[in-house]
Amino acid sequence: MGSLDGKVALVTGASRGIGAAIAKRFGAEGAKVAVTARSLDSHPTLPGTLNETVAWIEQHGSQAVAVAADLADPTHWGSIVERTNDAFGNIDILVNNAAAAFYLPFEHTSEKRFRVAFDINVSAPWHLTQLVHPQMRSRGEGWVLNISSATSIHPEGPPFLDFAKTSTLYGSTKAALERMTTGTAAALNEDSVWVNSMAPVGAVMTEGATALGVVPEDAVREAESLEAMAEASLALCTTRDPQLTGRITYCTPLLEELDRAVRTLDGHEQLAGPRADQAPAPV
């Protein structure tokens, strides 16, 4: 019996990377999982699709549905929730993982990219949480997890590192997401809805991060595995600890705090630790 048997989860940005890993781990624990992103069955440059995530979950014994949508388009937010409800019923868990990660100098950041970054990284999580909250309230419990980034931390300087100069837009959206997390946790606490954010300490070398080629060397050395991110997410989306809400958490410190081992995405094996070099190579 899995820890998410009977639960319905919606995971955004789940065609590859962290979102796909979380969706798979949740499916392996018995959840019915709706996954959404733009890449239903292909992407022009990156591997990984929604259909592949769904196939993995179904092959490992659970149910999943792919919902192709563009989170930069506000007209898609309601339909994502509606299609999840049509497939599986009320949503118990929302993971806001999708992100637009633009790393650009301040003077080269266009109005369009500024808008897209805030629409995907801030507005979509806000509105999706508003849409699923009544369903969680009716069931008497629910979980919202916002995947954040260490770029939310204010840069130190002067002198300033080059990375701090190009991560301003992305970091600003994640800082907004974290403040939204703590406020939403307070607003929904009486409805027994747990709301937290979680970020990697350094980096997670996903397909997207590798393609961007902007991750600092120290972050690569501290890179946490997809399995660790998925395990920490599972911990935050199964907790009933009344104190474990409204938290701005980081992957490895959270796992250490909870004394929780990292397992493979199918849940069958325990791994050596949370770092990328302590997890199996992706297949």
**Given this model, what pLDDT does residue 245 score?**
98
Of 7, 39, 170, 197, which is the active-site residue?
Answer: 170
Of 15, 62, 148, 197, which is the active-site residue?
Answer: 148
CB 8 within 8 A of CB 92: yes
Say whether 32 is catalytic: no
Q: Rounded to two decimals, what is the model's pTM?
A: 0.93
Say whether 79 is catalytic: no
Of 174, 197, 225, 250, which is the active-site residue?
Answer: 174
% of the chain beyond a pLDDT of 70 = 91
Say whether 138 is catalytic: no
**Given this model, what pLDDT does residue 91 score?**
98
For the ranges 80-84, 171-175, 218-222, which has the lowest average pLDDT?
218-222
Choosing among 3.50.50.60, 2.70.210.12, 3.30.1330.10, 3.40.50.720, the CATH entry for 8-278 is 3.40.50.720
Residues making up the chain, counted from first to last: 283
Summarised one tens digit per residue, pLDDT across range 84-130 is 999 999 999 999 999 999 999 999 999 999 999 999 999 999 999 99
Question: Residue 183: CB partners within 8 Å, gap ≥ 6?
Answer: none
Summarised one tens digit per residue, pLDDT across range 8-66 is 999 999 999 999 999 999 999 999 999 999 978 866 667 789 999 999 999 999 999 99
Of 39, 62, 123, 149, which is the active-site residue?
Answer: 149
Say whether 148 is catalytic: yes
